[in-house]
Structure 1
């Protein structure tokens, strides 16, 4: 029999997994995550409203991206899926993958840091307000370290292998608090990993588009291999889900293989989404650079091109003089 989350000794019989039961709003909703999602939505929309009242524009696409990102968090933490995540590895893995590989990408497209920098009021002389604290944090040594690929990539990999392939997972899954801490950790790791890669918000590390793609491709093979290792395992890797409730009607080893398939699939889908986003960003960057060069040429009469042509003509004259001599 399975133990009810946070209530040792009490059993919780769940019916077999169906889409309707998983997506249904559960009576024992995860209150901390529900409050957190409402705060994330409220703070972001407050910033958008403040900009609009000030006469500034904010792209609707960014607002939609943020709302969708927060809704994906609520979808895997505030519905029946959260209950199944305490009793089935496949359900838990789906939560993990969404929170670490899907929600962060969509949320970062909403540019929350940029919105905060624009919406927060500037402080008076000699005072430090929320905006000043945010700017100081972005330029702090701590953020430079935790947002550097040398930190985010090992953390991203360790969150997979160091958790599921060690006794740490079973230890955390003993209580609801441990399960919730894992969910918060997955979301935080995903945000840190994709923040410099997406490059929408300002940050200490802003490599070129090719380097961002390289960072993405370095991490994804580790993720894919993790999923394949679980899919091909012949024994149970964690003991938490070794004895699922009979009402679920699942075989723990088959469920583990399904969890591995989910992990493998999520190494492909987010990569595709990020590559599309980076391609559009790259194209827009080149377009802005071209317009800037055109404006500069209009102001100075195409001085840069004339200087380059004069340089080539000078080289040709020197070559002719050397040949005559």
Structure 2
């Protein structure tokens, strides 16, 4: 996958998108009435998450034919960046900064059946692992190098499903219908096992045009990266103080009915 000249490149699109999401979050943080000030460490986490995502995509573009770099970038885009962004509590910030009517609509959207289904840990884990298996075992990976649209769609899906999974397991945003701790723990174990099986599969069946040594190294990076991210999520999910802080501090505004 090449960054073509003569038009708008993926790097330029990424830069504009990064500046946009940073600006929106900072604007919302300034509008928030969270005890007079939105926590600065959450702003830092949001900036860090956007930075990790941007660096990961840039690495994927610059070294598109290096599977080891691809695996490292995947860890950043699909694991580390989602965790950092989740810790910045963007939904809670939205509810704090929006005016009453839009905030109430957002709450209703988040509590709708489709949103609850997609945001359930089992569904999110299935989308996340299913996408990885489709990419590496379903023959999509070699096509990324020649199809720019497929490259963008696949990595956007990796990022979005990573965010969904992180939020479903250990999200700090308000969620009165969050799955129980046992369910989330089981899902985390399944995801770690899925990474292990995928790592073995990459070692035995490297993707097309990927050297066996690179496939082995990349598979190990994916496994240990996934295990580390799952460990962080397990700690966050099992820390009631963090979740309790978020729930207790969320809607400081009183929203009028729509």
Does TM, normalized by the shorter one, top 0.5? yes
Question: In the TM superposition, what are the counterparts of 1:165-244 in structure 2 within 5 Å?
Answer: 165-203=137-175, 205-230=177-202, 232-233=203-204, 236-239=206-209, 241=210
Residue of structure 1 equivalent to 2:61: 82
**Partners in 2 of 1:181 and 1:56 — Cα distance?**
39
Residue 95 of structure 2, aligned match among 91, 112, 117:
117
Partner of 1:68: 48
Assess if the C-alpha contact under 8 Å between 2:86 and 2:167 holds in 1: yes
For 2:76, the equivalent position in structure 1 comes to 98
Change (3 A) 1:255 1:286: closer
Judging changes above 3 Å, is the alpha-carbon distance between structure 1 residues 287 and 108 closer, same or farther for their aligned structure 2 residues? closer
Aligned ranges 1:3-152 → 2 under 5 Å: 4-5=2-3, 30-51=11-32, 56-78=36-58, 80-84=59-63, 86-123=64-101, 130-152=102-124
Distance 2:233 2:35 in 1: 32
Aligned residue pairs: how many?
A: 243
> In the superposition, relative to structure 1, how do residues 107 and 121 fare at CA in structure 2: closer, same or farther (>3 Å)?
same
Aligned partner (choices 212, 221, 224) of residue 265 of structure 1 = 224
Q: 2:255 aligned with 1:274, yes or no?
A: no
TM-score normalised according to structure 2 size: 0.83
Equivalent residue number for residue 21 of structure 1: none
In 2: Cα distance, 1:287 partner to 1:143 partner? 23
Report if the CA contact (8 A) 1:144-1:204 is conserved.
Answer: no
Instruction: Give the 3-state SS of the residue equivalent to 1:267 in structure 2.
Output: helix
Q: What is the rounded CA distance, in whole Å, between the counterparts of 2:168 and 2:124 in structure 1?
A: 10
Aligned residues of 1:6 and 1:176 also touching (Cα < 8 A): no
Give the structure 2 partner of residue 308 of structure 1. none
* Gap runs ≥5 in structure 2: 247-258
Task: Give the aligned partner of residue 25 of structure 1.
Answer: none
Could you tell me which of 231, 248, 253 is aligned with 2:212? 253
The structure that has the greater radius of gyration is 1
C-alpha spacing 1:70/1:207, structure 2 compared with 1 (3 Å)? same
Structure 1: state its 5+ residue gaps.
8-27, 124-129, 242-251, 289-325
Measured after TM superposition, the shift of residue 286 of structure 1 is 7.9
Q: TM-score, normalised by structure 1?
A: 0.67
Aligned-residue offset at 1:115: 0.2
- The superposition leaves residues 48-85 of structure 1 with CA deviations (integer Å, 9 ceiling, x where unpaired) of 11126x8623222222211111111111123x55310x
Question: CA offsets per residue over residues 115-163 of structure 1, 9 Å max, x none?
Answer: 001101123xxxxxx3343223212222122112332222122112122
Instruction: Identify the residue that residue 252 of structure 2 maps to in structure 1.
Output: none
Q: Which has the higher relative contact order, 1 or 2, with Cα contacts under 8 A spaced 6 or more apart?
A: 2
